[in-house]
Amino acid sequence: MLGPATRCCGTFTSRASGFHPPAALLVTCWTALGEELVSRLLHVHFKDDKTKVSGDALQLMAELLKIFVVEAAVRGVRQAQAEDAILVDVDQLEKVLPQLLLDF
């Protein structure tokens, strides 16, 4: 199962804590951590440890990933609504993922 889930009413839920922060808060948190997180993710997968990423490229990649994640969440919510599901689960995300990857 997916750790964080999305309620169809537009708030996010952590299954562990039951906490429901608004979506805007999660986007703000993502923005604050985005570049550092993206930098670490990129460097983990670089073959050469000396590879560098410019600040502009890092900003662009962080923005692209943010858009991708938000779009996946929105499509997952729409799929869950079409199925009359209360929560977005990995099943709904698996259904929307092929088209999402083609669109990006």
Domain regions of the chain by residue span: 4-103
Rounded Cα distance, 23 and 74, in Å: 11
pTM of the model: 0.65
Provide DSSP, 38-78: HHHHHHHH-SSTT----HHHHHHHHHHHHHHHHHHHHHHHH
Is the predicted pLDDT of residue 56 greater than 60, yes or no? yes
- Maximum C-alpha span of the chain: 50
Looking at residue 86, what DSSP letter applies? S
Evaluate if residue 2 carries a pLDDT over 90.
no
Is 102's pLDDT higher than 90? yes
